[in-house]
Amino acid sequence: MGKEEALKAQLIQSIINYVRANHADAIDKAYAYFWDEKNPDEFLSGNALYIGFVNFEDWLIFDYKANDAGEAFIDLYIKNSTGLKDGELTLLNKIKGSLLSLYEAVSVSKDKRALLKDLLMGGEVSMKDKILTKGLKKGDMFAARLLPLDNGHAMSGSVYPFRAEDKKAVLDYVNRMFRRYTKNENPDGTMKDFLRDYGDVFNMAWIRIITG
């Protein structure tokens, strides 16, 4: 784990503690919204349930609109926390605008370096972290938040694993929600705008596939 990634892990835990201490009521509201008023224990178990909770905390920190101004909890933490060191503040500002997107493994080399294609916003990203790319195969698909850390990219911790055969269904669902977004909320909105406002779309797609 690189230096920036280790610091990121500490800061994320600090933000979670901050939210629990100062915005406990918002957690319940966000939780109900994220799971579409359902109880995840009823359709998730084991590792999938654990992934679901990690995904919720990641979305809560980066994407959930904590106030009428549209600020996320990472924004409120930066604004309200005292004693943040320059390096901590720099890193938080570096990652706070990151978005969840959908990636497909274009290639995976013998040394586990993976080339990922962003299926929604375009472009390719190289991942060289062997821990993160272990077991990854060409054609594998997942939604994740990639952070620009340690002169490369690292995952925030959140991941929505999809099967390669689910590619059309996931893309169709996301694009349908995007069209609804541009029709009803933001006619000039881009896919980037949509993912900034509705990062939970991947959880909805994940639930739909799991529950059939």
Question: Over the stretch 21-64, which tens digit does the pLDDT of each residue have?
Answer: 999 999 999 999 999 998 999 989 999 999 999 999 999 999 99
Same domain, 20 and 55: yes
Same domain, 11 and 87: yes
Same domain, 129 and 176: no
The parent domain of residue 191 ranges over 166-211
Is residue 118 classed as helix, strand or coil in its secondary structure? Answer: strand
CATH number of the domain to which 122 belongs: 2.40.50
What does the pLDDT read at residue 92? 97
What does the pLDDT read at residue 146? 94
Contact 203, 195 (CB under 8 A): no
Give 130-137's long-range contacts (Cβ < 8 A, gap of 24+): 133/108, 136/105, 136/108, 136/112, 137/105, 137/108
Q: What is the pLDDT of residues 180-199, one digit of tens each?
A: 999 999 999 999 999 999 99
Cα-only R_g, the chain: 17
* Backbone φ, ψ for residue 162 (5° rounding): -125, 150
Same domain, 147 and 65: no
Q: What letter does residue 2 receive in the DSSP assignment?
A: -
Q: Per the structure, how many domains does the chain have? A: 3
What does the pLDDT read at residue 131? 64
Same domain, 87 and 42: yes
Same domain, 137 and 187: no
Same domain, 172 and 146: no
Same domain, 14 and 69: yes
pLDDT surpasses 80 at 134: no
Same domain, 79 and 13: yes
Q: What is the pLDDT of residues 81-132, one digit of tens each?
A: 988 999 999 999 999 999 999 999 999 887 778 899 999 999 999 887 666 6
Q: What is the pLDDT of residues 158-187, one digit of tens each?
A: 999 999 999 999 999 999 999 999 999 999
| Domain closes at, from 42, 64, 95 | 95
pLDDT surpasses 80 at 68: yes
What does the pLDDT read at residue 132? 64
Strand boundaries in 60-172, DSSP class E: 100-108, 114-118, 124-127, 141-149, 152-162
What does the pLDDT read at residue 211? 84
Contact 72, 84 (CB under 8 A): no
d(CA 77, CA 67): 13
Whole-model pTM: value is 0.92
Q: What is the pLDDT of residues 139-162, one digit of tens each?
A: 999 999 999 998 888 888 899 999
What does the pLDDT read at residue 1? 72
Same domain, 25 and 84: yes
